[in-house]
């Protein structure tokens, strides 16, 4: 059985990103939701600036180490990193990490975007904590490390009492089956943590679910859905919902960002870093600003 995803432009509730009742119901039933056109180019500019700065740092480091003959600084955002790693190995790429989690102001401004937070509020209420596990992912062409196996985000924090943690996955370039868009296994958010292991193919040690786990038998009749989506759209899903992405077989980088949000009464997961209070109807003066975040403070200090 295949579940047809809802591809809907987000509908206003209390703001630009608030969800409709239909969207909330679909998320609750299927474990995920696709929003088209959630963000515009201006909304994405802070994170693209942060990532461009990171690519520039990598280019300088590679040039200094003699691993790059030219920095390709005139290339577009979509192609520069691809040109830099063309013909290089998985190990070359992984020297700089499979994903990035820097303390650059652009990350904070992107994570705090009201359109994103409004959508999350529709699902968990107005006391919202930005989880410390956020990632920018440069899926570089022909590099195995870009492939991510079937997994649950929950497998990375199995001991936390965080339920729900909502992942908001946002592509910064159009994501499709060629460059490695997401695939979701609907309704698997109704499972607990599925047995898993560390995959060995890509060198990244990503967690991978054991698809023959007995708890998944009832979901075998539900076909996974492939979710191509334009830049600035968003896919929201529960941290138990099984998902994956395929390698990038295009000629450009499939840039994406995965952000996570949870109610403030859940485990802040300090073992993974420092998150921040991004919205609070009860304590608005405690909402963190960019200076707090850069100083690794979870709440505002005047």
Question: Other CB atoms closer than 10 Å to residue 42's CB: what's the count?
Answer: 7
- The pLDDT assigned to 27 comes to 97
Residues β-bridged to residue 259: 168
Overall size of the chain counted in residues? 302
Q: Considering the entire predicted model, what is its pTM?
A: 0.91
Rounded to 10 degrees, the C-alpha dihedral 115/116/117/119 comes to 90
Q: Is the Cβ–Cβ distance between 207 and 83 less than 8 Å?
A: no
Whether residue 298 has a cis bond before it, omega within 30° of 0 = no
- The pLDDT assigned to 123 comes to 94
pLDDT tens by residue, the chain, 302 residues: 333 333 333 333 433 348 999 999 999 999 999 999 999 999 999 999 999 999 999 999 999 999 999 999 999 999 999 999 999 888 898 899 888 999 999 999 999 999 999 999 999 999 999 999 999 999 999 876 677 889 998 888 887 776 679 999 999 999 999 999 999 999 999 988 888 888 766 667 788 888 888 888 888 899 999 999 999 999 999 999 999 998 899 999 999 999 999 999 999 999 999 999 999 999 999 999 999 999 999 999 87
**Cα–Cα distance measured from residue 225 to residue 3, given in angstroms and rounded to the nearest whole number:** 7
Domains of the chain, CATH where assigned: 7-294 (2.60.120.620)
- The pLDDT assigned to 144 comes to 65
């Amino acid at each position: 059985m295949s579940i047809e995803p809802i591809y809907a432009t987000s509908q206003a509730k209390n703001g630009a990103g608030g969800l409709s009742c239909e969207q909330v119901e679909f998320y609750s039933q299927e474990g995920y939701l696709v929003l088209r056109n959630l963000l515009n180019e201006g909304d994405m500019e802070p994170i693209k600036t942060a990532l461009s700065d990171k690519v520039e740092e990598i280019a300088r480091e590679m040039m200094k180490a003699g691993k790059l003959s030219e920095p390709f600084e005139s290339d577009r955002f979509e192609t520069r990193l691809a040109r830099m790693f063309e013909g290089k190995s998985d190990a070359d790429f992984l020297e700089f990490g499979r994903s990035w989690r820097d303390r650059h102001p652009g990350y904070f401004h992107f994570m705090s975007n009201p359109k994103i937070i409004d959508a999350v509020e529709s699902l968990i209420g107005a006391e919202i904590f930005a989880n410390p596990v956020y990632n920018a992912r440069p899926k570089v062409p022909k590099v195995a490390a870009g492939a991510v196996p079937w997994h649950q985000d929950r497998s990375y924090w199995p001991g936390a009492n965080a339920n729900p943690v909502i992942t908001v996955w946002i592509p910064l370039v159009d994501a499709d089956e060629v460059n490695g868009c997401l695939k979701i296994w609907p309704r698997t958010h109704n499972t607990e943590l599925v047995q898993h292991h560390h995959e060995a193919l890509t060198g990244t040690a990503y967690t991978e679910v054991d698809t023959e786990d007995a708890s998944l038998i009832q979901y075998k009749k539900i076909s996974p859905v492939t979710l191509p989506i334009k830049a600035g759209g968003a896919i929201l899903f529960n941290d138990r919902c099984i998902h994956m992405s395929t390698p990038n077989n295009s000629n450009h980088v499939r840039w994406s960002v995965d952000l996570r949000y949870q109610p403030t009464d859940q485990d802040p997961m300090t073992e993974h870093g420092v998150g921040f209070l991004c919205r609070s109807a009860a304590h608005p003066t405690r909402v963190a600003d960019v200076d707090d975040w850069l100083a690794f403070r979870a709440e505002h200090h005047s």
